[in-house]
Structure 1
Amino acid sequence: MENSTMTTSQLIADSYVSYHSQVYLYILHKVNCQKEAEDLSQDVFLRLMEYKQMLRPDTVKFFIYTISRNLVNDYLRRYYKRQEISSYMYDHAETCTNDTESRIISDDLAALEQRKL
């Protein structure tokens, strides 16, 4: 059991060394943000650790790219949803007015009208 854990941990470490730069470049190409690509590429290997029981040397590469694709899709989905919400709020937000200033201006206009009449 302990030997199995050591081999999967070693497999993940070897996979990190072998595939990290490729995963990073793939994610960078998709999200076009260096910091986000760094974070997401780290998350790929953290998620890979959740699949320790299922990993084998011949399947680890496929796990890595599947996890990468899913993380990028989730990131882009959240990003565009956030953009949509921000755009909606910007379009539908009431302009901020100063009620005190508006009241003074309307009182001044009313006083001017009264004098004119």
Structure 2
Amino acid sequence: MTEPEVSKRLITDYYRLHVGEVKAFVLKRMDYSAESEDIVHDIFLKLLESDKIVSAVTLPCLVYTMARNMIYDYLRHRAVVEEYEHYIHKVSGKLGEAGCSSVYSAVDICEILERGMARLSAGQRSIYRMNVVEGMQVSEISECLHENYKSVENRLGIARKMMRMYMRRMLA
């Protein structure tokens, strides 16, 4: 058997033996059963799709580190969604029936977003689009563009900052 086949076999055996423990770990920290099962499922899918070599010693640490990171990502995302929902509820309550027409539509927001991206340099725009629109990670973008990771990360940070300022100004 080749190394990748051994790794995949090790991951599937670990899944069969320890999936309940990993689910309990995630569920204890989240209180959302459906989402916790999705996180556990995603962990093992990512491990199986990865071409990296995994050993019996490193696999448990890797699984729990991935679980912790995915939990943090999910909770961070949930906090943003709840904050946005609270904001929309507050705004719609202030506007009432007559002022709802002044709330931006999705088309309006997309147009403003496109105009904001047009203000970025060509390099920043392509990196921002790859990250935000296409959902690529910084490491994937740096590989795709054959550029240094830190350079891509820096330009993405600048582009995000400029876009946040532009969107705030346009939606105010």
Establish whether TM, by shorter chain, passes 0.5.
Answer: yes
How many residue pairs get matched?
A: 97
2:22 maps to 23
Name the TM-score, length of structure 1 as normaliser: 0.75
Aligned to 1:55, the other structure's residue is in SS state coil
Q: Which amino acid aligns with 1:47?
A: K
2:47 maps to 48
Q: Confirm whether residue 32 of structure 1 aligns to residue 39 of structure 2.
A: no
Contact between 1:48 and 1:63, CA under 8 Å: does it hold in 2? no
C-alpha distance in 2, partners of 1:75/1:20? 19
- Structure 2 gap ranges (5+): 100-172
C-alpha distance in 2, partners of 1:70/1:54? 20
Note the C-alpha offset of 1:51: 4.1
Q: Confirm whether residue 96 of structure 1 aligns to residue 94 of structure 2.
A: no
C-alpha distance in 2, partners of 1:47/1:19? 16
Contact between 1:47 and 1:67, CA under 8 Å: does it hold in 2? no
Contact between 2:7 and 2:53, CA under 8 Å: does it hold in 1? no
Note the C-alpha offset of 1:17: 1.2
Note the C-alpha offset of 1:50: 4.3
Matched residues, percent identical? 26
Higher relative contact order (CA 8 A, sep 6+): 1
Aligned-CA RMSD value: 1.7
Deviations 1:70-97 (A, max 9, x none): 0000000000110000001111222124
Give the 5 Å matches for 1:37-116.
Answer: 37-93=36-92, 94-97=95-98
Determine which structure has more spread, i.e. the larger CA radius of gyration: 1
Aligned to 1:53, the other structure's residue is in SS state coil
C-alpha distance in 2, partners of 1:81/1:67? 21
Name the TM-score, length of structure 2 as normaliser: 0.52
Contact between 2:22 and 2:64, CA under 8 Å: does it hold in 1? yes
